[in-house]
Amino acid sequence: MTDPKTFVASDEAKAKAGQFRLFAILAWLIAIAGEIFAILKLIHNETLVWLVVAIVVILILAVVGNLLWKKANRLDPPSEANKISFFLKSQLGAIMSVLAFLPLVILIFTNKDINGKTKGIAGAVAVVALLAAGITGIDFNPPSIEKYTDEINAQTDSLKQITNGVDHVFWTKEGNKYHIYQDCYHIKNREIFDGTVKQAWESRHIENGELCLTCKARAEKEKAASSDNLIDQVKDAIKDETAK
């Protein structure tokens, strides 16, 4: 069993995650500002079209924010040590989506100054937008430092079993897998980085990294051939001793 290795996001990954989180928060704030504007100015029979347009724009902003936030969490995941903090950081997109739409939905349906047609159309669009934004905001399998750590250690152990204990892999910026062989045709003629499985994960050039199946098959074949050669050598040695 490999000595446990704890995942630590690289400085580059943390910087990218910080940018994504900043843009996500800006998108959510603009979405909420749009909601406030819609509540104050657009819940009227005469402005139904503009109200629907505003809802669609708010939805786009909320979804963009949700996707950016999830991307940031995969680059620099939160820890599960504090369950409340982990939940808030993992599901912030869903929370912000609710804030961006629920007050608007409630006010559309409770407003006494608009007719049934306006309530029906605007309310239906707002409810659908709320559900769509909420679903994209939920992270059904949120990443965490602990999950990445477990995966790194499991993959390192698996790698060492087919490489005679060697923890050294190759990867590229564009790919989402790491490789045992630098000359693997999947990464040929590309900028190649090398290091341990842990370093490959922490670089975040790869997303939830996995071992290249081509490299795995090649390594297993070479290991089997090496074992067969060893067995043959032992047999030959026994025969020589017997002959003596």
Looking at the structure, tell me whether residues 64 and 179 fall in a common domain. no
Q: Is residue 74 part of a domain?
A: yes
Q: Residue 76 in contact with residue 101, Cβ under 8 Å? A: no
Q: Which domain holds residue 172?
A: 168-243
Given phi > 0 = left and psi -120 to 50 = alpha, else beta, which region is 165? Answer: left
Of 233 and 34, the one with more pLDDT: 34
- In angstroms, the CA 182 to CA 3 distance is 25
Q: Is residue 204 part of a domain?
A: yes
Looking at the structure, tell me whether residues 132 and 177 fall in a common domain. no
Q: Is residue 5 part of a domain?
A: no
- In angstroms, the CA 155 to CA 172 distance is 18
Q: Is residue 160 part of a domain?
A: no
What is the model's pTM? 0.83
Looking at the structure, tell me whether residues 102 and 199 fall in a common domain. no
Looking at the structure, tell me whether residues 99 and 21 fall in a common domain. yes
Looking at the structure, tell me whether residues 56 and 119 fall in a common domain. yes
Looking at the structure, tell me whether residues 124 and 20 fall in a common domain. yes
Domain boundary (119, 137, 155) is at 137
User: Distance from CA of residue 142 to its chain's centroid?
Assistant: 8
Query: What is the enclosing helix (H) or strand (E) of 120?
Result: helix 116-137
Looking at the structure, tell me whether residues 127 and 39 fall in a common domain. yes
Best CA proximity match to 34, nearest among 127, 124, 103: 103
Q: What is the pLDDT of residue 235?
A: 47
Residue 114 has pLDDT above 60, yes or no: yes
Per the structure, the count of domains in the chain is 2
Q: Is residue 152 part of a domain?
A: no
Looking at the structure, tell me whether residues 129 and 32 fall in a common domain. yes
Query: pLDDT (tens digit, 9 = 90+) per residue, 197-230?
Result: 988 888 765 556 789 999 999 998 888 887 555 4
Looking at the structure, tell me whether residues 132 and 172 fall in a common domain. no
Best CA proximity match to 196, nearest among 220, 171, 223: 171
Q: Is residue 34 part of a domain?
A: yes
pLDDT tier at 1, thresholds 50, 70, 90: very low
Q: Are strands 210-211 and 192-195 parallel, antiparallel or unpaired?
A: unpaired
Arithmetic mean of pLDDT over the chain: 89
Q: Is residue 59 part of a domain?
A: yes
Looking at the structure, tell me whether residues 72 and 29 fall in a common domain. yes
pLDDT tier at 61, thresholds 50, 70, 90: very high
Q: At what angle do helices 48-75 and 116-137 cross, to 10 degrees?
A: 10
Q: How far is the CA of 238 from the CAs of 225, 234, 235, in angstroms? A: 20, 6, 5
Residue 66 has pLDDT above 90, yes or no: yes
Residues 6 or more apart from 3 whose CB is under 8 A from it?
Answer: none
Q: What is the pLDDT of residue 28?
A: 98
